[in-house]
Amino acid sequence: MDVINILHKIPLERRNVVEEVTADLAASMNLIAKKCFPKIELVTDRFHVQKLASEAVQEERIRLRWKIMEQENSDILKARKKGRTYKYKLLGNGDTHKQLLARSRYLLFKSKIKWTVRQRERAKILFKLYPTIEKAYNLAQGLTYIFENNIHKDVAGLKLAHWYDKVEKSQFKSFSTIAKSIQMNYVTILNYFNNTSTNASAESFNAKIKEFRAQFRGVRDVKFFLYGLTKLFAELGLLP
């Protein structure tokens, strides 16, 4: 691979200084890290694992939203055939069922303590009407709780095992897939608890590069682009 060939130009003694590499769940990134930095401890970035769980919650919300939309469209057609005007049923907070599912997107990414008053009201109605969303949300938050508490690696392993049991009982296909991914990367995921390292700063810097590139609508002269990138972010003190 090109990346491996480039990194191999760095003397081995310098590459051996690297003790830890944090990467996502991509097999290619793990391969690069192992091939180029022989003495590292590989860590799977916690935020990529948590992102999978958050996406599983949203998947359940979207599934139910499509179901409600389909039912609503059917009811509207029936009302028209009878020459009536379809009346939308409003919930306690003023949302329709469709609006409730659409507007709940952002609150499902957050922990309960970060909800606004309106989000708490919406969540109460949402979980009462759609208990499977609450179940999915609690599973995702349970995984986040494990990562956010500075606990010993062995304790984290035990808590993850308990989380697996909850996933199996939930019978959520998407969460079962996540649990299998965690099991396949069990060692590198638990390595996070050694130093609680993440690649958040690298992800942030990557986002800044993408934004900088978008301003020029692509890159024609790579050398000039890299020069401008280095000058700009070095002067701003944003280079990692």
pLDDT tens digits, 185-206 = 899 999 999 988 887 777 777 7
* Span 166-176, average pLDDT: 89
Helix (H, G, I), strand (E, B) or coil at 44: strand
211-219: list long-range contacts, CB under 8 Å, 24+ apart.
none
* Span 112-132, average pLDDT: 96
* Residue of 39, 35, 27 whose CA lies nearest to 4: 35
* Span 113-124, average pLDDT: 96
Which two tokens mark 107?
A: 């609150």
Q: What confidence score (pLDDT) does residue 233 get?
A: 66
Dump pLDDT digits (tens) for 43-52.
999 998 999 9
What is the pLDDT confidence band of residue 237, given thresholds at 50, 70 and 90?
low
What is the pLDDT confidence band of residue 133, given thresholds at 50, 70 and 90?
very high
Q: What confidence score (pLDDT) does residue 101 get?
A: 96
Q: What confidence score (pLDDT) does residue 94 get?
A: 92
Helix (H, G, I), strand (E, B) or coil at 140: helix
Q: What confidence score (pLDDT) does residue 52 get?
A: 92
- Is 191 in contact with 147 (CB distance < 8 Å)? no
Distance of alpha carbon 102 from alpha carbon 138, whole angstroms? 19
pLDDT > 70: what percent of the chain? 94
**DSSP state for residue 110 in the 8-state scheme:** S
Dump pLDDT digits (tens) for 142-164.
999 999 887 889 999 999 999 99
Q: What confidence score (pLDDT) does residue 1 get?
A: 67
**DSSP state for residue 81 in the 8-state scheme:** H
- Is 80 in contact with 233 (CB distance < 8 Å)? no
What is the pLDDT confidence band of residue 214, given thresholds at 50, 70 and 90?
confident
Distance of alpha carbon 86 from alpha carbon 73, whole angstroms? 10
Q: What confidence score (pLDDT) does residue 88 get?
A: 87
Which two tokens mark 200?
A: 């958040």
Greatest Cα-to-Cα distance within the chain, rounded to the nearest angstrom = 81
* Span 114-129, average pLDDT: 96
Which residue do the tokens 């480039």 mark? 6
Distance of alpha carbon 101 from alpha carbon 122, whole angstroms? 9
**Which residues make beta-bridge pairs with 44?**
23
Q: What confidence score (pLDDT) does residue 139 get?
A: 95
